[in-house]
Amino acid sequence: MGPFALISDTLRRQGLKGLWLGQTGTLLRETGGSAAWFGAYETSTRFFIRQYNYKSKSDLAAWQLMSSGALAGVSYNVILFPADSIKSNMQTFAELNPGVKQSSFVGTGKEIFRTRGIRGLYAGCGLTCLRSGPSSAVIFFLFQRLEQNFGYVFGLDGSEVNGERSEKVE
């Protein structure tokens, strides 16, 4: 079944609302998770900068950048994994339970917690963190090194003062 057939089928069975199923969970996960992702990375890199008396992130060793990135990836998932679990449950509910009325985001969360407890809300989080830790470590390491080495292309000299990026002044 192609994308247009899926859209048509969703509209026929659930109406326009069906196209937005799980949107609340996605919004929570992406906004809160991104805040956790960048927040953990910045907090960790600033810790290393203070701990080793560095001047900026460009002084950090690869292991420090990658450790900060890995912490960021794990933080992203641990903080709001329940929202993703609820979203996934809502998105598969209609397929698994034809003819049964879909519960709200909060109602679905309560039902998962009632039947499976906190473990139900975090089911799969461990494996997700095992994937996101290393991938975020590589993402942040590469970003930092690319910015450091090619930031001039975008008018940045790659230097920072007290953790703040400074633009190159000509």
**CATH number for the domain harbouring residue 151:** 1.50.40.10
Structural domain includes residue 15: no
Structural domain includes residue 9: no
> Taking the complete model, does pTM exceed 0.85, yes or no?
no
Structural domain includes residue 168: no
Structural domain includes residue 4: no
Band (4; pLDDT cuts 50, 70, 90): very high
More confident call, 46 vs 150: 46
The dihedral sign for the CA sequence 142, 165, 151, 49 = negative
Q: What is the mean pLDDT of the chain?
A: 89
Find the range with the poorest average confidence among 28-32, 38-42, 77-81, 160-164: 160-164
Residue range(s) defining the domain that contains residue 85: 21-163
Structural domain includes residue 6: no
DSSP 17: G
**How many domains, in total, are found in the chain?**
1
Structural domain includes residue 84: yes
Residue 159: what pLDDT?
54
Structural domain includes residue 79: yes
Residue 69: what pLDDT?
98
The dihedral sign for the CA sequence 84, 87, 92, 97 = positive
CB-based contact 50:94 (threshold 8 Å): no
Average pLDDT over residues 146-159: 78
39 CB burial (10 A radius; 0-12, 13-18, 19+): middle
Residue 168: pLDDT over 60: no
